[in-house]
A = this chain, B = another copy of it.
Protein backbone atom coordinates (compact mmCIF):
# COMPACT_ATOMS: atom_id res chain seq x y z
CA UNK A 1 0.00 0.00 0.00
CA UNK A 2 1.30 3.43 -0.97
CA UNK A 3 0.34 6.38 1.22
CA UNK A 4 -0.74 9.39 -0.81
CA UNK A 5 -1.58 12.94 0.35
CA UNK A 6 -2.51 13.34 4.02
CA UNK A 7 -4.99 10.49 4.44
CA UNK A 8 -5.09 8.69 1.11
CA UNK A 9 -3.63 5.48 -0.25
CA UNK A 10 -3.38 3.30 -3.32
CA UNK A 11 -3.32 -0.45 -2.93
CA UNK A 12 -2.66 -3.15 -5.46
CA UNK A 13 -5.43 -5.77 -5.53
CA UNK A 14 -4.83 -7.86 -8.63
CA UNK A 15 -3.34 -7.89 -12.09
CA UNK A 16 -3.95 -10.11 -15.09
CA UNK A 17 -2.03 -10.63 -18.27
CA UNK A 18 1.65 -9.78 -18.74
CA UNK A 19 4.04 -8.36 -21.32
CA UNK A 20 4.26 -11.90 -22.68
CA UNK A 21 0.47 -12.29 -22.89
CA UNK A 22 0.30 -9.09 -24.94
CA UNK A 23 2.72 -10.60 -27.46
CA UNK A 24 0.79 -13.88 -27.51
CA UNK A 25 -2.45 -12.05 -28.27
CA UNK A 26 -0.84 -9.93 -30.97
CA UNK A 27 0.63 -13.06 -32.55
CA UNK A 28 -2.84 -14.49 -33.08
CA UNK A 29 -2.84 -12.54 -36.33
CA UNK A 30 0.08 -14.56 -37.67
CA UNK A 31 -0.75 -17.78 -35.83
CA UNK A 32 2.41 -17.69 -33.71
CA UNK A 33 2.96 -17.25 -29.97
CA UNK A 34 5.49 -15.63 -27.66
CA UNK A 35 9.01 -16.42 -28.94
CA UNK A 36 11.16 -14.85 -26.22
CA UNK A 37 12.75 -11.56 -25.19
CA UNK A 38 16.33 -10.72 -26.14
CA UNK A 39 18.47 -11.27 -29.22
CA UNK A 40 18.37 -14.68 -30.87
CA UNK A 41 20.79 -16.36 -33.23
CA UNK A 42 19.35 -16.01 -36.74
CA UNK A 43 20.38 -19.54 -37.50
CA UNK A 44 19.50 -21.70 -34.48
CA UNK A 45 17.00 -19.23 -32.94
CA UNK A 46 18.49 -19.81 -29.50
CA UNK A 47 18.93 -16.78 -27.20
CA UNK A 48 22.26 -14.94 -27.35
CA UNK A 49 22.00 -13.61 -23.83
CA UNK A 50 21.98 -9.92 -24.63
CA UNK A 51 19.37 -7.66 -26.01
CA UNK A 52 21.07 -5.28 -28.30
CA UNK A 53 24.71 -6.17 -28.88
CA UNK A 54 25.69 -8.58 -31.53
CA UNK A 55 27.46 -11.59 -30.03
CA UNK A 56 28.60 -14.57 -31.98
CA UNK A 57 26.44 -17.59 -31.34
CA UNK A 58 27.66 -19.54 -28.30
CA UNK A 59 25.75 -22.67 -29.22
CA UNK A 60 27.92 -25.53 -30.21
CA UNK A 61 27.73 -26.62 -33.79
CA UNK A 62 25.92 -23.46 -34.86
CA UNK A 63 27.16 -21.69 -37.91
CA UNK A 64 27.34 -18.06 -36.91
CA UNK A 65 24.59 -16.21 -38.80
CA UNK A 66 24.18 -13.00 -36.84
CA UNK A 67 21.60 -11.87 -34.34
CA UNK A 68 17.94 -11.01 -34.72
CA UNK A 69 15.88 -9.08 -32.18
CA UNK A 70 13.49 -10.81 -29.77
CA UNK A 71 9.85 -10.01 -29.11
CA UNK A 72 10.71 -6.60 -27.64
CA UNK A 73 10.74 -5.49 -31.28
CA UNK A 74 7.12 -6.52 -31.82
CA UNK A 75 6.05 -4.93 -28.54
CA UNK A 76 7.63 -1.66 -29.67
CA UNK A 77 5.97 -1.97 -33.08
CA UNK A 78 2.54 -2.49 -31.52
CA UNK A 79 3.06 0.45 -29.19
CA UNK A 80 4.42 2.89 -31.76
CA UNK A 81 1.79 2.02 -34.35
CA UNK A 82 -1.07 2.21 -31.85
CA UNK A 83 -2.09 -1.40 -32.33
CA UNK A 84 -3.83 -1.13 -29.02
CA UNK A 85 -6.08 -4.17 -28.77
CA UNK A 86 -3.35 -6.52 -27.49
CA UNK A 87 -2.94 -4.15 -24.52
CA UNK A 88 -6.56 -4.94 -23.62
CA UNK A 89 -5.45 -8.50 -22.77
CA UNK A 90 -3.92 -7.33 -19.47
CA UNK A 91 -5.22 -5.21 -16.64
CA UNK A 92 -5.11 -4.05 -13.06
CA UNK A 93 -7.50 -3.75 -10.13
CA UNK A 94 -6.61 -1.33 -7.33
CA UNK A 95 -8.15 0.17 -4.23
CA UNK A 96 -7.89 3.91 -3.74
CA UNK A 97 -8.65 6.35 -0.97
CA UNK A 98 -8.70 9.90 -2.27
CA UNK A 99 -10.58 13.17 -1.89
CA UNK A 100 -13.86 13.46 -3.77
CA UNK A 101 -12.33 16.20 -5.94
CA UNK A 102 -9.79 13.65 -7.18
CA UNK A 103 -12.47 11.00 -7.78
CA UNK A 104 -14.49 13.52 -9.77
CA UNK A 105 -11.63 13.74 -12.28
CA UNK A 106 -10.86 10.03 -12.10
CA UNK A 107 -14.38 8.96 -13.02
CA UNK A 108 -14.20 10.81 -16.32
CA UNK A 109 -12.18 7.83 -17.51
CA UNK A 110 -15.13 5.77 -18.54
CA UNK A 111 -14.94 3.10 -21.11
CA UNK A 112 -12.55 0.33 -20.09
CA UNK A 113 -12.99 1.00 -16.38
CA UNK A 114 -15.24 -0.20 -13.60
CA UNK A 115 -15.63 1.52 -10.24
CA UNK A 116 -17.20 0.62 -6.91
CA UNK A 117 -17.11 3.48 -4.44
CA UNK A 118 -18.15 4.09 -0.87
CA UNK A 119 -21.58 5.66 -0.78
CA UNK A 120 -22.72 8.38 1.59
CA UNK A 121 -26.27 7.12 0.98
CA UNK A 122 -25.33 3.88 2.81
CA UNK A 123 -22.77 4.92 5.41
CA UNK A 124 -21.78 8.22 6.97
CA UNK A 125 -18.44 9.24 5.45
CA UNK A 126 -15.65 9.30 8.09
CA UNK A 127 -14.47 12.78 9.03
CA UNK A 128 -11.31 12.97 6.92
CA UNK A 129 -10.69 15.85 4.55
CA UNK A 130 -7.77 16.69 2.35
CA UNK A 131 -5.70 19.56 3.67
CA UNK A 132 -3.05 20.82 1.24
CA UNK A 133 0.29 21.91 2.68
CA UNK A 134 1.52 25.50 2.71
CA UNK A 135 4.25 24.55 0.26
CA UNK A 136 1.78 22.92 -2.15
CA UNK A 137 -0.37 26.02 -2.21
CA UNK A 138 2.48 28.47 -2.73
CA UNK A 139 4.23 26.36 -5.36
CA UNK A 140 0.89 25.91 -7.10
CA UNK A 141 0.31 29.63 -7.10
CA UNK A 142 3.79 30.36 -8.45
CA UNK A 143 3.53 27.97 -11.35
CA UNK A 144 3.62 29.77 -14.62
CA UNK A 145 3.32 29.01 -18.31
CA UNK A 146 0.16 27.61 -19.76
CA UNK A 147 -1.19 26.11 -16.58
CA UNK A 148 -3.80 28.63 -15.62
CA UNK A 149 -5.74 26.06 -13.63
CA UNK A 150 -3.05 25.78 -11.03
CA UNK A 151 -2.54 29.52 -10.79
CA UNK A 152 -4.22 31.90 -8.41
CA UNK A 153 -6.44 34.60 -9.80
CA UNK A 154 -4.52 37.49 -11.38
CA UNK A 155 -1.27 35.63 -10.79
CA UNK A 156 -1.26 36.51 -7.09
CA UNK A 157 0.91 34.39 -4.80
CA UNK A 158 -0.02 34.20 -1.12
CA UNK A 159 2.63 34.57 1.57
CA UNK A 160 3.41 31.79 4.02
CA UNK A 161 1.51 33.57 6.71
CA UNK A 162 -1.54 34.25 4.56
CA UNK A 163 -1.57 30.64 3.49
CA UNK A 164 -1.34 29.39 7.03
CA UNK A 165 -4.18 31.66 8.09
CA UNK A 166 -6.28 30.39 5.19
CA UNK A 167 -5.62 26.80 6.17
CA UNK A 168 -6.84 27.62 9.66
CA UNK A 169 -10.02 29.01 8.13
CA UNK A 170 -10.30 25.89 5.97
CA UNK A 171 -10.16 23.76 9.13
CA UNK A 172 -12.92 25.88 10.62
CA UNK A 173 -15.02 25.29 7.56
CA UNK A 174 -14.34 21.54 7.66
CA UNK A 175 -15.27 21.46 11.35
CA UNK A 176 -18.56 23.26 10.83
CA UNK A 177 -19.45 21.05 7.84
CA UNK A 178 -18.83 17.99 9.94
CA UNK A 179 -20.79 19.32 12.90
CA UNK A 180 -23.78 20.05 10.68
CA UNK A 181 -23.44 16.62 9.00
CA UNK A 182 -23.49 14.89 12.38
CA UNK A 183 -26.30 17.02 13.74
CA UNK A 184 -28.39 16.08 10.73
CA UNK A 185 -27.70 12.37 11.18
CA UNK A 186 -28.46 12.64 14.89
CA UNK A 187 -31.96 14.06 14.45
CA UNK A 188 -32.85 11.64 11.65
CA UNK A 189 -32.10 13.56 8.44
CA UNK A 190 -31.64 10.80 5.81
CA UNK A 191 -27.96 10.07 5.17
CA UNK A 192 -28.41 10.97 1.50
CA UNK A 193 -29.41 14.53 2.51
CA UNK A 194 -27.40 14.95 5.68
CA UNK A 195 -24.30 14.80 3.47
CA UNK A 196 -25.13 18.14 1.81
CA UNK A 197 -22.47 20.15 3.72
CA UNK A 198 -19.70 17.57 3.17
CA UNK A 199 -16.85 19.30 1.27
CA UNK A 200 -15.36 18.03 -2.00
CA UNK A 201 -12.10 17.57 -0.08
CA UNK A 202 -13.71 14.72 1.90
CA UNK A 203 -11.97 11.37 1.46
CA UNK A 204 -13.82 8.48 -0.12
CA UNK A 205 -12.72 4.98 -1.11
CA UNK A 206 -13.16 2.85 -4.22
CA UNK A 207 -12.06 -0.19 -6.13
CA UNK A 208 -11.10 0.60 -9.72
CA UNK A 209 -10.49 -1.95 -12.44
CA UNK A 210 -9.42 -1.48 -16.02
CA UNK A 211 -7.42 -2.97 -18.83
CA UNK A 212 -3.85 -1.91 -19.50
CA UNK A 213 -4.79 0.10 -22.56
CA UNK A 214 -7.15 2.09 -20.38
CA UNK A 215 -4.64 2.57 -17.57
CA UNK A 216 -1.98 3.81 -20.00
CA UNK A 217 -4.45 6.37 -21.39
CA UNK A 218 -5.23 7.38 -17.80
CA UNK A 219 -1.51 7.84 -17.10
CA UNK A 220 -1.05 9.83 -20.29
CA UNK A 221 -3.54 12.44 -19.12
CA UNK A 222 -3.05 12.28 -15.37
CA UNK A 223 0.75 12.34 -15.16
CA UNK A 224 0.92 15.29 -17.57
CA UNK A 225 2.23 18.58 -16.18
CA UNK A 226 -1.19 20.15 -16.75
CA UNK A 227 -2.95 17.61 -14.51
CA UNK A 228 -3.81 18.64 -10.97
CA UNK A 229 -0.92 17.82 -8.63
CA UNK A 230 -3.16 15.73 -6.35
CA UNK A 231 -4.36 13.29 -9.01
CA UNK A 232 -0.80 13.12 -10.37
CA UNK A 233 0.32 11.62 -7.08
CA UNK A 234 -2.17 8.81 -7.59
CA UNK A 235 -1.28 8.43 -11.25
CA UNK A 236 2.41 8.11 -10.41
CA UNK A 237 1.55 5.38 -7.90
CA UNK A 238 -0.41 3.57 -10.62
CA UNK A 239 2.61 3.96 -12.91
CA UNK A 240 4.81 2.26 -10.31
CA UNK A 241 2.41 -0.69 -10.07
CA UNK A 242 2.51 -1.02 -13.83
CA UNK A 243 6.29 -0.70 -13.95
CA UNK A 244 6.64 -3.66 -11.58
CA UNK A 245 4.13 -5.88 -13.34
CA UNK A 246 4.43 -4.93 -17.01
CA UNK A 247 8.00 -3.62 -17.15
CA UNK A 248 8.48 -3.73 -20.92
CA UNK A 249 5.18 -2.08 -21.73
CA UNK A 250 5.80 0.48 -19.04
CA UNK A 251 9.23 1.30 -20.48
CA UNK A 252 7.66 2.09 -23.85
CA UNK A 253 5.08 4.31 -22.20
CA UNK A 254 7.79 5.96 -20.10
CA UNK A 255 9.83 6.87 -23.19
CA UNK A 256 6.95 8.97 -24.47
CA UNK A 257 6.05 10.48 -21.10
CA UNK A 258 4.96 14.08 -21.31
Contact = CB atoms under 8 A, between A and B. Distances in A.
A107 interface: yes
A132 B207 CA distance: 31
A202 B196 CA distance: 8
Q: Which of A111, A163, A188 has most chain B Cβ within 10 Å? A: A188
Contact of A89 (B114, B166, B184): B114
Nearest to A89: B209
Number of chain copies forming the complex? 4
Contacts of A95: 28
A207 B166 contact: no
B188 A180 contact: no
B197 A180 contact: no
B196 A152 contact: no
A169 interface: yes
Contact of A198 (B28, B157, B199): B199
A150 B188 contact: no
Interface of A: 13-17, 21, 24-26, 28-31, 82, 85-86, 88-89, 91, 93, 95, 100-101, 103-104, 107-108, 110-124, 129-132, 136-137, 140-141, 143, 148-158, 162-163, 166, 169-170, 172-174, 176-177, 179-180, 183-202, 205-207, 209, 211, 213, 221, 228
30 contacts: A14-B17, A25-B116, A25-B207, A25-B209, A29-B123, A30-B118, A30-B123, A89-B93, A89-B209, A101-B195, A108-B115, A114-B211, A121-B150, A132-B193, A132-B196, A136-B193, A141-B190, A149-B191, A151-B190, A153-B188, A154-B188, A158-B188, A166-B180, A169-B180, A170-B197, A172-B180, A177-B177, A177-B199, A192-B228, A199-B200
**What 3 pairs between A and B have smallest CB-CB spacing?**
A156-B188, A88-B114, A152-B188
